[in-house]
């Protein structure tokens, strides 16, 4: 389904598939790009106990990741239990981490909701012998985790900017609305987006707004921005809930299609918005690939095999023109296993 270690060029064209293979994250596919896990664990991967903690358990991105991880773990004879935060908040995820610390599993796959706040707790788990894989989001401390698996979010942000600038005719104002500062994935998307938009002098980039992952807030923010900036021609949604809120806000303001939208992810509501014309571009990640790779890398560590320290997974740009293509629609996220 995807080739995380391959290197591919960057293709940006309206109505075509864009694949980002995360080459910067993976390094070369030959020797020198991988690091070993800890010492071999007797008995291999079979029957090893692994916990998975996702960012928001009700989010189709994380549901898709969980389903794939569970299937891969079952195939390898591993015992995987999954849980996730009810909302994107350190205080909500911390008790889940504490529960894992008390259980002492062989492995932990986690999408930390903050790049620094949870590090001490995760370091304690790692020091106790649990192998940790960081999936989707990451942390600042490079000593934490035997593997880090994520999309190349900075490139994804740049792709969104290129596609959106084309949709806008390279003129007008554009705004980014995202979750909150301090999240590695969305911070990288904003960086890639704003740096690329700087190459389009006809477009004015407005200050970034944060909605705390609340669609209703995003809907209100886009409406306020429309009132203050009548020349608003585009908006970049940093994540799924934000994209949903922006779509709602534009519909309520009667600006559906007039203000072009590029959004991350391909969850059911976003796909519906793409069909309806409220959103023009979706940059879909491969959460299933992230889940599979997370399990595979822990299994390699359990078996004393080389572990890839960093893996970048495939991303695909989806438009109304290509969304019916089976090679594209397979990246739509699931609402359940």
pLDDT one-digit tens code per residue, 66-116: 999 999 999 999 999 999 999 989 999 999 999 999 999 999 999 999 999
**Residue at 163 is within a domain:** no
pLDDT digits (tens, 9 = 90+) for 108-143: 999 999 999 999 999 999 999 999 999 999 999 999
User: Distance between CA 54 and CA 83 in Å, rounded?
Assistant: 6
**Residue at 45 is within a domain:** yes
Q: What is the token pair recorded at 289? A: 């690939």
Contact in structure between 61 and 53 (CB atoms under 8 Å)? no
By three-state DSSP, how is residue 101 classified?
A: helix
**Residue at 260 is within a domain:** no
Q: Which residue numbers in the chain have pLDDT < 50?
A: 1-42
pLDDT of residue 149: 96
Contact in structure between 106 and 46 (CB atoms under 8 Å)? no
Q: What is the token pair recorded at 47? A: 């029957």
> Where residue 82 sits, what CATH number does that domain have?
3.40.50.2300
> Which domain covers residue 135, as residue numbers?
33-148+287-311
pLDDT of residue 43: 57
**Distant-in-sequence, close-in-space partners of 55: CB < 8 Å, separation ≥ 6:** 62, 84, 85, 88, 93, 111, 113, 136, 137
**Residue at 178 is within a domain:** no
User: Distance between CA 80 and CA 160 in Å, rounded?
Assistant: 35
Number of domains in the chain: 1
**Residue at 250 is within a domain:** no
CA distances from 312 to 21, 153, 242 (A): 6, 9, 24
Q: How many CB atoms lie within 10 A of CB 317?
A: 27
Q: What is the DSSP string of 121-145?
A: HHHHHHHTT-EEEEESS--S-TTS-
């Amino acid at each position: 389904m995807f080739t995380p270690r391959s290197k591919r060029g960057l293709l940006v064209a309206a109505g075509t598939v864009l694949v980002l293979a995360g080459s910067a994250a993976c390094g070369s596919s030959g020797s020198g790009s991988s690091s070993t896990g800890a010492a071999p664990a007797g008995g291999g991967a079979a029957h090893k106990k692994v916990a998975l903690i996702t960012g928001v358990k009700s989010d189709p991105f994380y549901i898709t990741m969980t389903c794939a991880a569970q299937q891969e773990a079952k195939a390898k004879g591993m015992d995987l239990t999954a849980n996730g935060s009810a909302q994107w908040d350190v205080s909500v995820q911390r008790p889940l981490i504490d529960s894992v610390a008390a259980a002492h599993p062989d492995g932990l796959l986690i999408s930390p909701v903050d790049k620094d706040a949870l590090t001490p707790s995760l370091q304690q788990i790692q020091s106790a012998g649990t192998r940790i894989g960081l999936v989707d989001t990451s942390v600042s401390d490079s000593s934490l985790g035997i593997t880090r698996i994520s999309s190349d979010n900075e490139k994804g942000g740049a792709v969104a900017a290129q596609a959106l600038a084309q949709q806008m005719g390279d003129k007008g104002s554009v705004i980014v609305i995202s979750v909150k500062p301090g999240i590695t994935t969305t911070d990288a998307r904003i960086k890639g987006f704003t740096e690329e938009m700087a190459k389009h002098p006809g477009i004015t980039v407005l200050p970034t707004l944060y909605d705390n992952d609340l669609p209703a807030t995003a809907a209100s923010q886009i409406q306020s921005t429309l009132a203050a900036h009548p020349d608003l021609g585009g908006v970049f949604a940093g994540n799924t809930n934000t994209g949903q809120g922006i779509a709602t806000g534009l519909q309520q303001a009667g600006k559906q299609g007039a203000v072009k939208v590029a959004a991350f992810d391909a969850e059911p509501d976003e796909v519906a918005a793409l069909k309806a014309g409220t959103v023009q571009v979706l940059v879909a990640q491969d959460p299933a690939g992230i889940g599979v790779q997370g399990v595979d890398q822990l299994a390699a560590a359990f078996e004393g095999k080389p572990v890839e320290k960093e893996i970048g997974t495939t991303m695909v740009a989806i438009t109304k023109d290509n969304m019916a293509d089976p090679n594209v629609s397979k990246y739509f996220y699931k609402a359940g296993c």
